[in-house]
Structure 1
Amino acid sequence: MWAGILASLPLMMGVIPFSVICGASASGIGLTFSQAWGLSWIVFAGSSQIVFTHLLGSGAAAWVIVLTGWVVNLRFMMYSAALAPHFRKTPRLARWLGAYLLVDQSFAATLGRIAEGRSERENVWFYAGISLALWLSWQAGSIAGILLGSFIPAHWSMDFLVALNFIALLIPLLSNRLMWVAAAVGALVSLGPQLPLKLNLLVAALAGAVIATILEKLWKPASSGPSS
């Protein structure tokens, strides 16, 4: 477990500021302390919390908020599928708790640990250490953000924090032309005519995902063809 805790320390440099922003954004739209912290406990997914805060603050319907958050978090299904074969002997209750604690950073670090050929027991304890440490740091940052947000005047908009945070998250992921095209399509759709029920963000996310899937299938044969 200590190996996981130690591995989490450098990751906290990115996790804590993000959690502070999430907490401040939730407080900034008028959520009470218990509501804002409850969001952090129940969801525990920064991108979804930011989306929830933005859509709730703009008056979107509940089903739109839930569905958009689900789309944003689809990647965790792939993460779980990748880790599941390596945790087969782990008790079911522990796996359920592990699914709740799963985040981008713990997934990447644990996958790297698995690649080293460690035993399942070692991998489970590593995952437990890094996941619990990141969860605690996230909750601490969320509390700080909620308290900070309560002191921000109501006429100060927090929307710019949402935009800046998403840009900071997005840029490192744009590692190939497929990612760039998907991001461009999503951005263009989100800037289009205002859709009913605040559906722009959901439609933009789906459009980017669909275009990326289609282009990946079209470009793969060309990139894997015979070389001269």
Structure 2
Amino acid sequence: MSKLGTLTIGQAPRADITPILDAVLDAGLARRHAGVLDGLSRPDIERDFATVPGQPVLITKLLDGSSVVIDRARTEKAAQRKLSMLEAEGCSTILMLCTGHFESLHTESARLVEPDRILPPAVAALTQGAQLGVIVPLAEQISSEAGKWNPLGRPPLYAAASPYGGNGASVLQAARELAGRGADILLMDCMGFVESHRREAAAAGLPVILSNSLVAKLVSEIV
């Protein structure tokens, strides 16, 4: 019997993402949601996943609704342990709920679905040379995550806006900035962006690809 595991780099369950999965997955499909930061307090997280100056970072959401910025390399090591746990619990397919790039994640027999490996070729095929505008959560990710977009026919344009709020630009501001710079299509490059963010970005007048929606639809074909 198929069992889907999901792994967020934050804390599970992700109440913002699971409805997007529920909309396309069979209601009878067994599921197990896990998070890299499950059971950890903010002081624990700040100690064990502290960012390193100049090194890639990720942003994610905690159960209390707040967000936290964490070191990508430390997150990857912890994520590997969680993948092994999900596989041991019988998950036949495991979906990473993060669009960040990871070098070494793997499973023994379960099918591992990593959005950063799916999105670039799929988006390249969908956009067919159009100018893509990518909205990332953190300005620091514009350089650290850029390599995964090599499959595109032309380099994308970037703007930063967090799906978790804060003092930075809003999603609409980022979308309008990209439209003004010549983007033809927008991509929201974080699993934390949800349908309300898509609607906000769409007010800039361009088509908007929502990463978690696209990935969820593709995963529904194999579970």
- Greater strand proportion: 2
Structure that is richer in helix per residue: 1
| TM value normalised by structure 1 | 0.27
Larger radius of gyration: 1
